[in-house]
Amino acid sequence: MSTLFISDLHLSPSHPKLIKATVDFLAQQASKIDQLYILGDLFNTWLGDDIVPDEFQPLIEQLTKLKQVGIKSYLMVGNRDFMLGKTFAGYSGMTILQEPTLIKLGQCKVLLMHGDSLCIDDISYQRYRRWSRNRFLQYCFLMLPASYREGISDKIKQKSRQQKQHKSAEIMDVNHNEVDRVMAQFRVDYLLHGHTHRPAIHELGHEQYRIVLGDWQKEPSFIVFDGYQLQLFDPRVPKDSIASILSLS
């Protein structure tokens, strides 16, 4: 049996086709996997577990089905859906993972992250990240009526869009020193994350690897670990290439 990794689906009620594609994908995978890891930004926006759009109902049902057939599903929040909590995870049959989380694939330790915390060159984003993850501010946000929360979320997204126009591609990618630092801190040779929408398996030297999931804007992007090999499936990465297959030993 296999372990499946996905991230950055950015599901939203305004894109019902992508929700349907996700539900179909998970239904297809159900007979092949025994674990599912969602590494952040499953949803494009999350305003609180008490405001779940009806459009997500088929997805919730599919996730519940996975649990019923014995598949363990784990969810790490991303920079878009960090307000997602235990209540929603619980009734969708998922367990929330803290970031970062260390798991074992075969004999190898693998560190799982969403990836946004690695982009330390993006100083204004990291500032926003610090206050948006403040527990007290989050508590206050969840006390607001739905329409207020929506308004705040829209304003933040609008500002982020404006700022992104002035940021270079390098600034929005991971900082390599920060990657080295985190991997040394957790003593791992493998780091698996999403967020940057730049799918690839990078060899870092010294038999260390950074494995990056892609987003779902065009097609499903996912990683499968079959017990020996880790394989990245993404339309942008050539199949059977060095950037798509890694043996874990």
Residues near Mn ion (CB under 5 A) are 41, 78-79, 195
The smaller minimum CB distance to Mn ion, of residues 40 and 48, is found at 40
Contacts for 137-142: CB closer than 8 Å, 24+ residues apart: 138/83, 141/48, 141/83, 142/48, 142/50, 142/83
Report in angstroms how near the CB of residue 80 gets to Mn ion at its nearest: 6
Complex with Mn ion: residue 79 or 117, whichever CB lies closer: 79
Measure the CA dihedral 185/187/190/193, to 10°.
-30
User: Cβ closer to Mn ion: 30 or 179?
Assistant: 179
Distance CA 145, CA 168 (A): 36
Rounded to a whole number of angstroms, the minimum distance from the CB of residue 105 to Mn ion is 22
Return the residue nearest Mn ion (CB atom): 195
Q: Which is nearer to Mn ion, 41 or 173 (CB)?
A: 41
Q: Using omega within 30 degrees of 0 as the cis cutoff, is the peptide bond preceding 100 cis?
A: yes
**Cα–Cα distance for residue pair 214/226, rounded to 1 Å:** 19
Closest CB to Mn ion among residues 78, 220: 78
- Distance of closest approach, residue 98 Cβ to Mn ion, in angstroms: 17
Taking the C-alpha atoms of residue 52 and residue 35, their distance in angstroms, rounded to an integer, is 25
Describe the crossing of helices 135-143 and 146-164 by its angle, rounded to 10 degrees. 130
Amino acid residing at 100? P
**Any residues with CB less than 8 A from the CB of 71 and at least 6 apart, and which?**
30, 33, 34, 35, 36
Least distance from Mn ion to the Cβ atom of residue 67, Å: 25
Min dist CB 227 to Mn ion, Å, is 29
At its nearest, how many Å lie between Mn ion and the CB of residue 60?
21
**Dihedral angle over CA of 91, 58, 36, 196, nearest 10:** -110
The DSSP element (H or E) to which 78 belongs, if any, is none
Which CB atom, from 48 or from 194, has the smaller least distance to Mn ion?
A: 194
